[in-house]
Amino acid sequence: MSWFSKNYEKAILGGSAAVALGLAYLGWSTFGGVDEAFRSTLKGPGANHKTAVPDADSIPKALQSLKIDRTWTQAMDGTRPVNLFTGIPLFMKSSEPEKPIDLLTDLPVHPPIPNTWWLENRLEMVFADSPNRDPDADGFNNREEFDAKTDPNNSKSIPELIAKLMYVKADSMVWVVRPGFETEGRFAFSYEDSKLQTNKLAAGEMIGPNELFFAKEPMAQRFKLLGSEVRKEMNKATKIETDVTIVRIEDQRPNKKGTIYEIPSPLTEAKKAQHAKVDWTGVFSLEALGLNGKEFKVEENTTFALPPNAPKKDYLLKKINQESVTIEYTDSKGTLKTVAIKKGGLPRPTE
């Protein structure tokens, strides 16, 4: 009997082992080829170029967050507002240093402003000068905002601006119109002022009733001759009554329209000062809204706006002199009010 016949099972097992080893080698040798043939990722240039938008899943979350109501609301503990200092005594009574002040039940820390006003407006009240502070930088401090019932945290919510109008100084110009001798009811005129400006009619030119004069600046067409009349007046030097021709002229300047001056003709040099007039201009600054120290001018009996570049001119400079001005205006409630402002100061009510 041959060896194969006697060892048949051994030969079959050996052959099977050899086939298994051959298959294992074939699988190992082609492993790299599988990755190359069935590649799921890119290699080489451009392999890092991703087609998806980075963090695209964050976009819906961001859009959703924009819809969240982030309005601050005061947390309450029953009827008491909660703050970060709950349980911490911020103020003590000077008469009883060991006893803390209850901000809701005790007297105001900064009278007359109630403690709740500071809490409701989320303002620091821990400083000695808290009433004088201006958190919204509009030129009005906390005390002024409290008095006016405006929002101390909103620069567009402000008290009446007239409260911050400072009268800096007055500019004045003294002037005189001098009529000459009469010729058949017509007169020659000349003008001079404290700024050394002059006007004079042309030689031989005479002005009659209801005619305007002068033709050129600085007082072009400012005056109108209304007429003249002869009056009896006592001469103080001679104690004798004499006839005097009185010329009546009307001011045509917009802020003085209708003002009538009566001047003797001719007006001598000695009497010139008695008939001098004054044009007043006020110099102001608005000490609020960041305009502090920026001066602007207003003529007497002229309307103006606050701030100066505002479209509505709600204020009237009624009277002015070197020491003070008087201004009329209608407040937010429609009430006509008058304030007086002393030179270098802010307004004080007169009625």
pLDDT at 3: 46
Q: What is the pLDDT of residue 85?
A: 54
Angle subtended at Cα 177 by Cα 174 and Cα 181, rounded to the nearest 5 degrees? 155
Nearest-5° angle of CA 71, CA 75, CA 77?
165
> What are the DSSP E strand ranges found in the chain?
76-77, 80-81, 165-183, 186-193, 198-200, 212-213, 223-235, 240-251, 260-265, 277-286, 295-299, 302-304, 315-320, 324-330, 336-342, 347-349
**Can you read off the two tokens belonging to residue 75?**
């947390």
What pLDDT is attached to residue 253? 96
Give pLDDT, residue 22: 58
Q: Which two tokens stand for residue 307?
A: 């701030």
23 is a domain residue: no
**284 in a domain, yes or no?**
yes
Domain assignment present for residue 33? The answer is no
CA distance 292 to 271: 44
pLDDT of residue 4: 44
Q: How many distinct structural domains can be found in the chain?
A: 3
Check whether residue 310 and residue 217 sit in a common domain. no
CA-to-CA dists, residue 91 to 16, 77, 102, 109, 114, angstroms? 97, 21, 8, 8, 14
Residue 60 lies in a domain: no
The structure tokens listed for 135 are 């958190």
Final residue before a domain boundary, out of 277, 296, 318: 277
Of the residues 243, 258, 277, the one at which a domain ends:
277
Looking at the structure, tell me whether residues 285 and 200 fall in a common domain.
Answer: no
pLDDT of residue 53: 67
> Using the 8-state DSSP alphabet, how is residue 201 labeled?
P
Last residue of a domain, one of 277, 306, 327: 277
> 85 in a domain, yes or no?
no
User: Who contacts 235 (Cβ-Cβ below 8 Å, separation ≥6)?
Assistant: 241, 242
Tens digits of residue pLDDT in 339-351: 999 999 999 755 4
Question: What are residue 213's DSSP bridge partners?
Answer: 223
Residue 140 lies in a domain: yes
Task: Provide the residue range defining the domain that includes 181.
Answer: 173-277
Could you tell me if residue 17 is inside a domain?
Answer: no
- 26 domain-assigned: no
Q: Both 271 and 178 in a single domain?
A: yes
Rounded to an integer, what is the distance from CA 201 to the centroid of its chain?
Answer: 48
Residues in the chain, pLDDT under 70: 1-53, 72, 74-75, 77, 80-95, 349-351
